[in-house]
Structure 1
Amino acid sequence: MKNCKVRLDFDEIKEIGQEGCNSKVFLAHDNQLDGEIVVKEIKKNPSTSPDEYFKEARLLYAHNHNNIVKVNYACEDDDNIYVAMPFYKNGSLKKRISNGSYLTVREVIRYSIQFLSGLNHIHSKGLVHFDIKPDNILISDSNEAMLSDFGLALYTDTYGFCTAQACYTPHITPEQLKGLNQTIKNDIYQAGLTIYRMVNGNELFYRQIPNTGNPMLDDVAFKRMISNGLFPNRKCYLPHIPKKLKKIIKKCIEPNPNDRYDNTLQIINELASINENLDIRYGRDTSGEFWEAPKNSYVYKVSLSQNADNFNIKVCKTKDGKTTNCVSLCSNNIDNTQVIPKLEAIFATL
């Protein structure tokens, strides 16, 4: 077998992510391919073997799937390891659900089924990802959800167990907090948290995390909330989210792993059966909150505004530039206990 040493040449354009204290991610121009790529740069440590550095690249290469980010190549110089991957202009799922942006239920289902398909593939090979979160789900140029970042992934033993070496704190599982062995149900819990963030937006999720404690897991109360199934709030959802979708998320994030789904295919099948409120789009503006939904050539808009301690709900429909108020669906000066039931009743008609 002939061993060849070659030169790879790329120019760093800008840093686009900080992966950890010993690595960074940047956008680069590949001078051989004359195109943009993403490069993960990992600083070498004398105590770490080369095999460990190339672990993530080898896992990505070995587990080829339509919903797993592909690796272009991996290489090294005297100081660093470089893993090159495709650049997706759409960025991550986190970008899609941050800064006041929200997904429709149809988009939530579609992206979830896609990244869960990638997750099911690695589970079938005996691998646990251990870092499922919106940051690590990229949206390809063809608008497909792609699972990425296998830096924490581990193979299970004969009995399906392994132990995570690290974790992303807000997505830590109850079994990790208790120091128990983990299984693929660790990923199912994290997938459930990811879908929870997809349906509600990132802001609601982060607002539930205590500001005290540095790191936040120093907060004993927060750890207790996770262990007891109180974080995140299982009852806190936007009013247009279907009950079936909320039920799926709840089962994914049960504190006891035995109460969760057994595999990702079960989640995929249940997600595919949802057919309520698929195209209602939620948003916020200076007046309050609103929902827009297409129906019978009209675009319906439901607006919720607050007036002192009371709320107003206005419903109108627009077609060919002409807007008509739906008076029978409107409500004025209702208290907060009436808001959700009235909104749910409206969405049931759309």
Structure 2
Amino acid sequence: MITQGVFIADRYEVIDKVGAGGMSDVYRAKDHILGREVAIKILKQEFSEDATFVAKFRTEAQSAAGLEHPNIVNIYDVGSENGMYFIVMEYVEGITLKTYIEKKGQLNFKEAISIAIQVGRGIEAAHQKGIIHRDIKPQNIIISTEGKVKVTDFGIARAASSNTIHADVMGSVHYSSPEQARNGFVDGKSDIYSLGIVMYEMVTGRVPFDGDNTVAIAIQHLQEEMVAPSAYAPDLPISLEKIILKATMKSPDRRYPTISDMLMDLKKALVSPNEDFVQIMEASDLGKTQVMSRITPEQEESITKKAAQALIFDDEYDDDEEEYYDDEYYDDEYDDEYYDDEDEEDDSRMDKIITISGIVAGIAIVVILVAILGTHFDIFKFGAKKVEMINVVGTQLEEAESQLAGIGLDEDNILVSYEDTDDYEDGVVMNQSTKEGDEFSLNDTLRLTVAGDESADNGSASGDSSNQDSKDNSSSSSNSTSSNSSNSSNNSTSNNANSNTNNATTQTPATDSNANTSTDADSSKKVAVPSVVGLTQAEATTVLDAKNIVVTSTSSEFSDSVPQGQVISQSIAPGEMVAANTTITLVISKGAKATTYNYTIANPFEGDCTYSIAELNKSGTIPKSGAINISDVTKSQLTVTLTPVEGVEGTAQTQTVQGTAN
């Protein structure tokens, strides 16, 4: 179980869980090497042993890692540890577009277009690299606290280089294209369809197709015509409505040929929203040559400039609508920047933006070129270089270190511990933490277990310290079968006794040198279990690892006395003597259990109604005969206002609802 304080790959410290998907869970973590917060997506345990799911998870990482764009969540690292597969990505603080739509109900056309353009740019960058997202939906679109829109979760994306790719309908069926619904061929036009559905929801506050189950919704995508968005948004400009309708044509051939073509129409819609310029191909015209209107460079520059201005969310909210902006995500400076409607200031600001953007772009190009050249000539090292591990078990430590240096490891990558044993000669590597053939990051640590006593390696256990300068001589002294073996044994016994006195070791003196050697070997294999209660899991693992005690698993429990993330108990009592590499399990505190409540709020009207909950600053719509479920609320009761939508009989009512304790 992944809990607070757990370290992944000896680098990423888990802070808390921030989300969950169908295949994976997402955690916020601290990268202790680069000192930044990251998000870590970890494949769920039930899928980690399924080769198909693991392959898709790896494909996601490989696809997304090659994408670098301001409107795409960046991928930093990919790896696996003890059968756990994970992806490390950019942590974006903000809210999903789904939450944003739920808070606002409907977005005005300028805001909807500006968000669609940023999403489209991210999709365009992916398509240019042959990657189809396949799961575009508001839940996978994040609006950051800076107002930047980013596409995330390439959960079922694949490089579209094969002509045999077909869709696995794993994304939300509300946004899936007809070809995905029937498991047909998928290309960039499938993402265009999904973006069209997202735009429909932005301007209307609802999805075009809904039903009791996924099959019913999929059939609607295949067979039914959607209600025009203007039916729910009467003020919607004709240009935006036709863009949505063209993007969501059931036949891929009637949609936009590319996302770039769709982006151009979106930019035009910002400049001339009421102009009927969108051309939707009729079914009878399929296969015919179409004459496309050409745009001059001057027109393109004008459209792009005005589109950039409109990317600033300039919705005119009154004081009552400020509730849509949660202080956690939107502060006063953000509001001022994105809601300035004075034309003079916009023009001045846009001139500055264009000038600064040109300078920044120039600097960025230089930096990128320097980075590429520096990386190529190994001047810079971005990220962790990975090598294939070799086998050094059975070799002398010095030789092992030399071989490891040959593949790029230095002394900072190697941690040596010693263990007395009769199975190996002193100084020989008995075990290595990363197996031969496995991938090893040069930011990680390789643990080597070496036969013998560390003091022997330093020459402190020699029979004659003035003549002995290496562990090899110590080995030969202890194993000598020559005629001088008796003297060597006696000297060794004497010096061992002195070593016991000076270094407080646990060897037991004996009159017989052979008996003494046997006792030493047995006692050296035992270690005292330290107490780790009260330490964090990461600290406890470090302390136990230093004693060659292996933490195999952890569980978590609520505790009123032990703070969250600290060890409550350990499976082996402190002070107990155990063999090296003994396994131990820990119980980690989840902190004091807080009482939470669940709520079910039903629609009392004969049609759709809206709801608002003052204590949670939450609002939305409840369909006819429907209800909403709210879980894990810390308040024992809520005040809920239910209002029938226009055209539905009834008057607004306010209720005090009592929660059900968990």
TM-score normalised to the size of structure 2?
Answer: 0.38
Percent identity between the two aligned chains: 26
TM-fit CA distance, 1:132: 0.6
Pick from 18, 21, 25 the counterpart of residue 19 of structure 1. Answer: 21
Counterpart of 1:250 in 2: which secondary structure?
Answer: helix
Residue 143 of structure 2 aligns with an amino acid whose one-letter code is I
TM-fit CA distance, 1:14: 2.8
**Residue by residue, what CA displacement relative to the aligned partner does 1:10-32 show, whole Å, maximum 9, x if unpaired?**
33333222111x41112223333
Residue 33 of structure 2 aligns with an amino acid whose one-letter code is Q
Counterpart of 1:99 in 2: which secondary structure?
Answer: helix
TM-fit CA distance, 1:257: 1.1
Does the 8 Å CA contact 1:281/1:293 hold for their aligned counterparts? no
After superposition, the Cα gap between the structure-2 partners of 1:95 and 1:178, relative to the gap in structure 1 and judged at 3 Å, is same
After superposition, the Cα gap between the structure-2 partners of 1:284 and 1:41, relative to the gap in structure 1 and judged at 3 Å, is farther
Residue 270 of structure 1 aligns with an amino acid whose one-letter code is D
Residue 241 of structure 1 aligns with an amino acid whose one-letter code is L
Pick from 90, 103, 118 the counterpart of residue 94 of structure 2. Answer: 90
Does the 8 Å CA contact 2:48/2:85 hold for their aligned counterparts? no
Note if 1:249 corresponds to 2:244: yes
**Residue by residue, what CA displacement relative to the aligned partner does 1:95-150 show, whole Å, maximum 9, x if unpaired?**
22113354332222222111111211221222211101111122244322212111
**Residue by residue, what CA displacement relative to the aligned partner does 1:55-79 show, whole Å, maximum 9, x if unpaired?**
2222122122222211121222113
Query: Which ranges of structure 2 fall in alignment gaps of 5 or more residues?
Result: 1-7, 275-309, 322-338, 345-645, 648-662
Q: How do 1:31-50 and structure 2 match up within 5 A?
A: 31-42=32-43, 43=45, 45-48=48-51
Pick from 53, 58, 68 the counterpart of residue 64 of structure 1. Answer: 68
Counterpart for residue 260 of structure 2: 265
Select between 183-192 and 36-45 the one with higher mean Cα deviation.
36-45
Residue 97 of structure 2 aligns with an amino acid whose one-letter code is L
Higher Cα Rg: structure 1 or 2?
2
For residues 111 and 184 of structure 1, the distance between their equivalents in structure 2, rounded to whole angstroms, comes to: 19
Note if 1:124 corresponds to 2:119: no
After superposition, the Cα gap between the structure-2 partners of 1:284 and 1:141, relative to the gap in structure 1 and judged at 3 Å, is closer
For residues 41 and 102 of structure 1, the distance between their equivalents in structure 2, rounded to whole angstroms, comes to: 34
After superposition, the Cα gap between the structure-2 partners of 1:191 and 1:232, relative to the gap in structure 1 and judged at 3 Å, is farther
Counterpart of 2:154 in 1: which secondary structure?
Answer: coil
Does the 8 Å CA contact 1:173/1:186 hold for their aligned counterparts? yes
Pick from 133, 147, 168 the counterpart of residue 165 of structure 1. Answer: 168
Does the 8 Å CA contact 1:100/1:283 hold for their aligned counterparts? no
Pick from 194, 201, 217 the counterpart of residue 214 of structure 2. Answer: 217
After superposition, the Cα gap between the structure-2 partners of 1:71 and 1:97, relative to the gap in structure 1 and judged at 3 Å, is same
Does the 8 Å CA contact 1:72/1:85 hold for their aligned counterparts? yes
**Residue by residue, what CA displacement relative to the aligned partner does 1:178-205 show, whole Å, maximum 9, x if unpaired?**
332222111110010111122223xx22
After superposition, the Cα gap between the structure-2 partners of 1:281 and 1:52, relative to the gap in structure 1 and judged at 3 Å, is same
Alpha-carbon RMSD across the aligned residues, in angstroms, is 3.2
Does the 8 Å CA contact 1:102/1:282 hold for their aligned counterparts? no
The structure where strand makes up a greater share of residues is 1
After superposition, the Cα gap between the structure-2 partners of 1:258 and 1:144, relative to the gap in structure 1 and judged at 3 Å, is same
Residue 106 of structure 1 aligns with an amino acid whose one-letter code is K
Q: How do 1:147-186 and structure 2 match up within 5 A?
A: 147-157=151-161, 162-167=165-170, 168-186=172-190
Residue 17 of structure 1 aligns with an amino acid whose one-letter code is G
Select between 26-35 and 116-125 the one with higher mean Cα deviation.
26-35
TM-fit CA distance, 1:294: 6.3
Note if 1:100 corresponds to 2:97: no
Counterpart for residue 301 of structure 1: none
Counterpart of 1:151 in 2: which secondary structure?
Answer: coil
Counterpart of 2:21 in 1: which secondary structure?
Answer: strand
Counterpart of 1:230 in 2: which secondary structure?
Answer: coil
Pick from 186, 192, 196 the counterpart of residue 192 of structure 1. Answer: 196
For residues 154 and 33 of structure 1, the distance between their equivalents in structure 2, rounded to whole angstroms, comes to: 29
Does the 8 Å CA contact 2:96/2:142 hold for their aligned counterparts? yes
Does the 8 Å CA contact 1:136/1:147 hold for their aligned counterparts? yes
After superposition, the Cα gap between the structure-2 partners of 1:224 and 1:46, relative to the gap in structure 1 and judged at 3 Å, is closer
For residues 178 and 164 of structure 1, the distance between their equivalents in structure 2, rounded to whole angstroms, comes to: 9
Counterpart of 1:40 in 2: which secondary structure?
Answer: strand
Residue 158 of structure 2 aligns with an amino acid whose one-letter code is L
After superposition, the Cα gap between the structure-2 partners of 1:39 and 1:235, relative to the gap in structure 1 and judged at 3 Å, is same
Counterpart for residue 30 of structure 1: 31
Does the 8 Å CA contact 1:188/1:261 hold for their aligned counterparts? yes
Aligned residues: 278
For residues 12 and 40 of structure 1, the distance between their equivalents in structure 2, rounded to whole angstroms, comes to: 11
After superposition, the Cα gap between the structure-2 partners of 1:293 and 1:259, relative to the gap in structure 1 and judged at 3 Å, is farther
Pick from 134, 137, 159 the counterpart of residue 133 of structure 1. Answer: 137
After superposition, the Cα gap between the structure-2 partners of 1:293 and 1:175, relative to the gap in structure 1 and judged at 3 Å, is same
TM-fit CA distance, 1:284: 12
Counterpart for residue 237 of structure 1: 232
Residue 186 of structure 1 aligns with an amino acid whose one-letter code is S
Counterpart of 1:186 in 2: which secondary structure?
Answer: helix
Residue 163 of structure 1 aligns with an amino acid whose one-letter code is H
After superposition, the Cα gap between the structure-2 partners of 1:295 and 1:242, relative to the gap in structure 1 and judged at 3 Å, is farther
Select between 240-249 and 94-103 the one with higher mean Cα deviation.
94-103
After superposition, the Cα gap between the structure-2 partners of 1:232 and 1:132, relative to the gap in structure 1 and judged at 3 Å, is farther
TM-fit CA distance, 1:241: 2.0
After superposition, the Cα gap between the structure-2 partners of 1:126 and 1:234, relative to the gap in structure 1 and judged at 3 Å, is same
For residues 116 and 254 of structure 2, the distance between their equivalents in structure 1, rounded to whole angstroms, comes to: 20
TM-score normalised to the size of structure 1?
Answer: 0.69
TM-fit CA distance, 1:271: 0.6
Does the 8 Å CA contact 1:96/1:103 hold for their aligned counterparts? no
TM-fit CA distance, 1:264: 0.5
For residues 127 and 149 of structure 2, the distance between their equivalents in structure 1, rounded to whole angstroms, comes to: 17
Does the 8 Å CA contact 1:102/1:283 hold for their aligned counterparts? no
Counterpart of 1:39 in 2: which secondary structure?
Answer: strand
Does the 8 Å CA contact 1:176/1:182 hold for their aligned counterparts? yes
